Amino acid sequence: MVVVEGSRQPDVDSLAVSRELPAAAWDAYVDAHAEATGYHRSMWRGVFERALGHETLYLAATRGTAIAGVLPLVAVKSWIFGSALVSLPFLNYGGVLADDAAAADALVDAARTAAAERHLRYVELRHTRRMFPSLPARDHKLAMTLALPGDDAAAWKMLDNKVRNQVRKAQKSGLQATIGGPELLAEFYDVFARNMRDLGTPVFPRALFERVLTDVADTRAYVVRTGATPIAAGITVAYRGTTENIWASSLREYRAQCPNMLLYWTMIEDAVRAGRRTFDFGRSTPGEGTYHFKKQWGAAEAPFAWEYAFSSANGHELPSGSASSKVALATSMWKRLPLPVANAIGPAIARGCAFL
């Protein structure tokens, strides 16, 4: 039981939902909860607000003065994908943390009310398992994770021969990997922004990655170079026993040198040396190229459970993940944009691309 500092003993019969809770009390509850992810911690609130300009709403269920559950929410408004309260957008995990069903239900009810107040259509809860059987849900995305051994030699041996050969190919090509922090931001963003343009996807603002690397605990940046040229890069965040790769990109014209294989091996090796027991490749769509890339590393898959609470009785259609055929046309056109143009206008669009 986590109690707000300086408070009296809780009245176990009362249950309320607050929209204000001190960050220290919030984080104490999250860190004590077995199902928490690092994204539930309060430090991410500033990332959403300062880097992306989104309104945040961090709900806490309380019994008297004891915290019984929390739900971090971000209001995302998009003319392409619609508007919703999301827990949590742009990331793989979020949703309700609660001591019991009553506290969990109270948080969802409060979130539904908050969505209605803001004229948002629904609340999206990114859970790793079904928590509310009465709510509609989607399982269109998979988690891809790799169990890690206790040392990097064992990690190397557990890889498929083809994967090891591709990592060796990158090393024999003279590629070098660097591990660091905010000092690698410029190189990371150069690679990431170019790759997003080539994929036909608007790039997130550079401020997002800057805030993550400076404000979020246990983050790392990785850059793979050929000579002085960055050609692959990624960012990981660690919490408890897991290191998760949240963003990674490589330049397609260097694909033959396998820079992405060296990048991922460097991230995995670094996680093993840090004592992590799981490497999380992030979410994938079954059957797509990124799914097969992660699967070759031996990643195990498990479906996410994204659950939805609608703010009114009208319109319970689940989001599809793509707005219409117009998106396909826009993607094709985006690939043809000069990189400076894509980087200039992309962040304003990407701020609302939270529902994929």
- C-alpha 98: how far from chain center: 21
Under 8 Å between Cβ of 90 and 125: no
Topology alike, domains 2-140+305-319 and 143-303: yes
Backbone phi, psi, residue 351, to 5°? -55, -30
| Residues 30, 70 contacting (CB under 8 angstroms) | yes
Looking at the domain 143-303, which fold is it?
A: Aminopeptidase (3.40.630)
Query: Taking a C-beta distance cutoff of 8 angstroms, is the pair 280, 237 a contact?
Result: no
**What number is the average pLDDT over the span 86-112?**
95
Half-sphere exposure of 243 (CA within 13 A, CB side): 25
- Dihedral, CA of residue 196, residue 197, residue 201 and residue 207, to nearest 10: 60
Quick one: pLDDT band at residue 11, thresholds 50, 70, 90? very low
List pLDDT tens digits, range 150-205.
999 999 999 999 999 999 999 999 999 999 999 999 999 999 999 988 888 888 99
- Give 223's strand partners: 178, 233
pLDDT tens-digit series, residues 122-151 = 999 999 999 999 999 998 899 999 999 999
**pLDDT, tens only, 100-121:** 999 999 999 999 999 999 999 8
Coil, helix or strand at residue 271 = helix
Q: Domain ranges in the chain?
A: 2-140+305-319, 143-303
Phi, psi of 212 (to 5 degrees): -65, -45
Share of the chain above pLDDT 90, in %: 74
Mean pLDDT, range 216-225, rounded to an integer: 97
CA pair distance 59, 106, nearest whole angstrom: 10
The confidence score (pLDDT) of residue 175 equals 98
- Residues 219 and 47: their CA atoms lie apart, in Å, by 13
Architecture of the domain spanning 2-140+305-319: 3-Layer(aba) Sandwich (3.40)
Q: Which two tokens stand for residue 254?
A: 């260097």
Residues facing 219 on adjacent strands: 237
Q: What's the rounded mean pLDDT across residues 275-292?
A: 92
